Amino acid sequence: MKFRPSPYLSLAPALIVITIMLGASLFYAVLESFGIIRVIGQDTLNLDAYRGVLSGTGTAGSEFWVSLGFSLWVSAASTIISSALALMAAVWLSGQKNQVDTLAVNGHLAFPHLAWATALLLFFSQSGILARWAAALGWIDVPADFPILVRDSFGIGIILHYSIKEIPFLALIVLGVLRAQPIGYDVVAENLGASRWQRLRYVMIPQVMPALFAGALLVFGLIFSSYEVPALLGIGYPRALPVLALRFFLDPDLGARSEGMVISLIITLIVLAVAVVSLKLEERKA
Amino acid sequence: MKYIIRALLYLILVAPLALFIVYSFTEGWFFPAPFPSEWTTTTFQRAMDDPRTLGGMWQGFVIAVIVSLLSLILAFPAARALGLRQFRGRQIAWLVLFLPTVVPPLAIGMGLNILFLRIGLAGTIIGVSLAHLISTLPYTVFTLSSAFARYDENYEHQALALGASPAQIFFNITLRMMTPSLVVATLFAFLVSWSQYLLTLLIGGGKIITLPVLLFTAASGGNPSTIAIKSLLFILPPALVIAFTARELNRHGEVIREQY
């Protein structure tokens, strides 16, 4: 072929753009986390920010361990609930011939997180739509009687958001596995006298578990590192790690800025570790 | 049981939309009124007359168009190489492209914020577009390379044997055969950029104010009708895209996944 370019040449533009921007952004992030802030002429490497964060004595660091616990709790709870619901939804969808339902699942997937969080606020806040209906039914008299479901101190609003929002992504993963399997297993089990529940428990669930677990880890990483949703549906204290990191990164106090950067790097490390485990699981499955 | 699951599924999909629409066309709907009493278009009219809303939509649109075009130009050759060729270092190329999908936008944005401030790209349309490009490019490459993996190069060989020029082959064969995937990839890049909040905030630095930035501010403590109208304008493009690419989406739905 006379016009077949080298694959390296074809890949170069995309790879260079990503490598430069990603590399430079990580480079500056690490630099600032070590207290090197060129703009103010501070260029000696120090570990103050790391010490401040990990020992819980820094400006931002004082909240670090609480926020870490909060973020882990919210991410784990959301991931577990959405995985369970996704499994149910996928088992149901796999029995459906109707493509319209799958399409509806996709529609929910494409709904932006920001808009979904906004809708939850309007529905679930203490003077929101549900509170108004409760009042109309005579269950409550004033907004304060309605349970605090969003902007609460346990992260219920955030968990509510992700438990529902992540179902489609996970359900489609499970559905992919179920549809790729020959129907044989299920039929054989049925012929051998397995009940519906036994077929689900011993045939379907073991089949989809590796893929679901790999997907759930990705979802965990996403929730753990996202900013908008905990910022909108959470409160000032305790707050999620990304909210804490950004708050102090934008702080005029430059020491706090470095601590914000350290927290952001810790988030990145945790998410990368989780993603590696997820990838390894995926490989073993294949 | 089946009917309950289906009812819930559609409730989740329709309820937010319905709420946004209802709120956009009412006024003075407060606790404890269970339903709005006054229907009006003045709330909507007022929001549309606000230059910030229109300006935000316009800026977001321009950025999203730039981002989709850049992603497409950069992704096309890369996807072709990944989809059709076997070569040393292929795994590494995948890994580099995969990285931006797992490194949190928070960390990318904070680092780029420092870099772009130094080189004067912070607060500019180009700076924000470049930042968005990091999150759209991998998905564009993945979408196109899976299409190239199903692509039959023999059509090109045949055209070449029949004396077609490289340009003719590119426009009449490659581009034509790839059109559906190109459309899907472009639309996804557009949507991811359109809905991007954090990177716009960190790079735009208060100078580039797109619709999601306005919506976030409103949602942090604004009037419900204002929030609803902004949400409605915000989800309009995704809703239209989903409606028009329904068939393709069924195949590529997982690709867009979690970048919103």
Higher pLDDT, B130 or A100: B130
Residue that wins the pLDDT comparison between A174 and A5? A174
Mean pLDDT of B111-124: 93
Tens digits of residue pLDDT in B81-96: 998 888 888 889 999 9
Helices (H), chain A: 7-33, 48-54, 64-94, 99-110, 113-124, 129-136, 156-165, 167-180, 184-191, 196-199, 205-225, 228-233, 241-249, 254-285
The most confident of A177-186, B18-27, B55-64, by mean pLDDT: B55-64
Query: Are the beta carbons of B254 and A176 separated by less than 8 Å?
Result: yes
What's the whole-number mean pLDDT along residues A197-215?
86
Q: What percent of chain A has pLDDT over 70?
A: 95
Closest CA relative to residue B79, chosen from B166, B171, B178, B169: B178
Return the residue in A4, A8, A11, A197 with the most chain B beta carbons within 10 A, the one to mutate for interface testing: A11
For residues A84-90, average pLDDT: 90
Domain limits at B21?
A: 2-256
Residue A233 lies in a domain: yes
Structure-model confidence comparison of residues B7 and B209, the more confident one? B209
A39-58 pLDDT, tens per residue? 677 777 888 889 888 888 88
Residues 6+ apart with CB under 8 A from A137: none
Evaluate whether residue A277 is within a structural domain.
yes
Q: Which residues contact B215 (CB under 8 A, 6 or more apart)?
A: A114, A115, A118, B227, B230, B231, B234
Supply the pLDDT for residue B257.
Answer: 43
Q: Select from A71, A75, A228 the residue whose CB has the most chain B CBs within 10 Å, as the one to mutate to test that interface.
A: A228
B221 part of contact set with chain A, CB < 8 Å: no
Chain B hits for A38, CB-CB cut-off 8 Å, are: 118
Q: Which residue of B has its CA nearest to A225?
A: B104
Task: Using CA coordinates, name the residue in chain A closest to B170.
Answer: A3
- pLDDT category, B63, cuts 50, 70, 90? very high
Which domain CATH number covers A72?
1.10.3720.10
Residue of A nearest to B246 (CA): A103
Q: Which residues contact B83 (CB under 8 A, 6 or more apart)?
A: B144, B145, B146, B147, B148, B149, B151
Q: How many domains does chain B have?
A: 1
Q: Return the pLDDT at A97.
A: 67
| ipTM of the prediction | 0.88
User: What is the mean predicted confidence (pLDDT) over B198-223?
Assistant: 92
Cβ-based contacts of A268 with chain B (< 8 Å): 103-104, 107
* Residue A229 included in any domain: yes
Q: Which domain holds residue A265?
A: 63-285
What is the average per-residue pLDDT within B124-139? 95
Report the chain B residue with the minimal C-alpha distance to residue A110.
B238
Q: What is the pLDDT of residue A99?
A: 67
- With respect to residue A49, please indicate whether it lies within any of the assigned structural domains: no
Map residue B26 onto helix, strand or coil: strand
Under the banding of pLDDT at 50, 70 and 90, the label for residue B258 is very low
Residue B259: the pLDDT is 41
Mean pLDDT across chain B, nearest whole number? 87
What is the average per-residue pLDDT within A99-128?
84
Who among A32, A99, A122 is closest to B250 (CB)? A99
* pLDDT (0 to 100) of residue B246: 66
Low-confidence winner among A241-250, B175-184, B205-214 (lowest mean pLDDT): B175-184
| CA–CA min distance A191, chain B (Å) | 24
- Angle between helices B125-149 and B246-256 in degrees, nearest 10: 110
* Residue percentage of chain A with pLDDT more than 90: 44
Place of tokens 């077609």: B164
Average pLDDT, chain A: 87
Closest CA to B256 of B173, B203, B194, B166: B194
- Res B254: pLDDT: 41
Those of residues 111-170 in B touching chain A at CB distance below 8 A are 111-115, 117-118, 130-131, 133-134, 137-138, 141, 157, 160, 166
Q: Do B110 and A25 touch (CB under 8 A)?
A: yes
Q: Does B77 touch chain A (CB under 8 A)?
A: yes
Which pLDDT tens digit goes with each residue over B132-158? Answer: 999 999 999 998 998 898 888 889 999
What's the whole-number mean pLDDT along residues B219-237? 89
Q: Note whether A272 contacts B250, CB cutoff 8 Å.
A: no
Choose the closest CB to B33 out of A114, A132, A231: A132
Contacts of A115 in chain B (CB under 8 A): 16, 20, 215, 231, 234-235
Residue B252 pLDDT exceeds 70: no
Contact assignment for A110 to B110 by CB distance below 8 Å:
no
Give the pLDDT band (50/70/90) at residue A98: low
Q: What is the model's pTM? A: 0.89
Q: Answer whether residue A5 is part of any domain.
A: no
Residue A13 domain-assigned? no
Q: How far apart are CA A193 and CA A185, in angstroms?
A: 13
> Are A27 and B111 a contacting pair, CB within 8 Å?
yes
Unique residue bearing structure tokens 């009940």: A195
Report whether pLDDT(A270) > 70.
Answer: yes
B87 contacts chain A (CB < 8 A): yes
Cβ neighbours of B197 in A, within 8 Å? 114, 227-228
pLDDT score of B253: 43
- Rounded Cα–Cα distance for residues B18 and B16 (Å): 5
The shortest CB-CB distance from A112 to any of B34, B118, B195 is to: B195
Q: For chain A, positions 146-165, list CB contacts with chain B under 8 A.
A: 164
- CA dist., res. A215 & res. A218, Å (int): 5
Reading the block at residue B58, the tokens are: 């316009």
* A residues 44-103 lying closer than 8 A (beta carbon) to B: 88-89, 92, 99, 101-103
CB contacts of A157 in chain B (<8 Å) are: none
The terminus-to-terminus CA distance of chain B in angstroms comes to 32
pLDDT at B43: 80
**Interval A191-218 mean pLDDT:** 86
Q: Confirm or reject contact between A282 and chain B (CB < 8 A).
A: no
In whole angstroms, how far apart are CA B165 and each of A4, B83, B159, B176? 13, 23, 8, 16
Domain count, chain A: 1
- The answer to whether residue B233 neighbours chain A at the CB level (below 8 Å) is no
Q: Secondary structure of B137-206 in the HEC alphabet?
A: HHHHHHHHHHHHHCCCCHHHHHHHHCCCCHHHHHHHHHHHHHHHHHHHHHHHHHHHHHCCCHHHHHHHCC
CB distance A15–B234 less than 8 Å? Answer: no
Q: What CATH number should be reported for the domain holding residue B86?
A: 1.10.3720.10
Of the ranges A159-168, B169-178, B240-249, which one carries the lowest mean pLDDT score? B240-249
